[in-house]
Amino acid sequence: MEQFALDEPPPVPNTDDMRPTDQALIIDAGGPRLQRWGLAVSWDKKPLINARAETLAEKPPFRPLLEKRCLVPMTAYLEWRKAEDGSKRKNHIALAGGHTAAFAGLTDGDAFTIVTCPPAQGIAHIHNRMPVILTGDAAAAWADTEKPFAEVAPLLHPFQEALAYEEEIPQRVQGELF
């Protein structure tokens, strides 16, 4: 966690798979803190967990948050893929080499959403979107709220470095023949 100037991360209630509405670590201008994943909106019972990079500046829920950017530290993320047999397969996607990075996020002070973009070429067969993954200078620039959104918007693109993924193999059902 030294990449984010943290001696150690704060305790996160759910350490296995982070799900929408769970508390997660974010880092914003106020420093590291836990926030709920998913922005509440009056017109939908479901929280907004993702925000499309291509339309951030156009969508009313996100326009006021463009200067309230945050980082969501990550080691991997999960994405579901529909297999040819109709089953859903969980895919564990991480930076090759197991490095830590951050998702680009927006926060309203109580909750956050993760910014998404089209997928990197190597994982496009899994899903048609992916979180914007930032490392090094790009992460620092995104977190710098002194920079106007227009200056950091070009960072919102598919991850260019190597990604590794592993697909969950469904458990064999008792009595099932191969």
- What is 2-75+98-160's CATH number? 3.90.1680.10
Beta carbons within 8 Å of 78's beta carbon, 6+ residues apart: 17, 90, 91, 92, 93
Measured between alpha carbons, how far is 125 from 81 in angstroms, rounded to an integer? 8
pLDDT class of 175 with cuts at 50, 70, 90: very low
In the chain, what are the domain boundaries? 2-75+98-160
pLDDT, tens digit, 9 for 90 and up, residues 29-49: 999 999 999 999 988 999 999
Q: Is 37 in contact with 49 (CB distance < 8 Å)? A: yes
Contacts of 155 (CB under 8 A, 6+ apart): 104, 132, 134, 138, 141, 142
Mean pLDDT of the chain: 87
170 confidence band (pLDDT: 50, 70, 90): low
Structure tokens at 11: 């305790």
- By the 10 Å C-beta count (0-12 exposed, 13-18 middle, 19+ buried), 74 is classed as buried
Q: What pLDDT score was predicted for residue 1?
A: 42
Q: Which long-range contacts (CB under 8 A, 24 or more apart) does 56-62 make?
A: 56/106, 56/115, 56/149, 56/153, 56/156, 57/149, 57/153, 62/106, 62/113
What confidence tens digit (pLDDT) does each residue in 55-79 have?
999 999 999 999 999 999 998 999 9
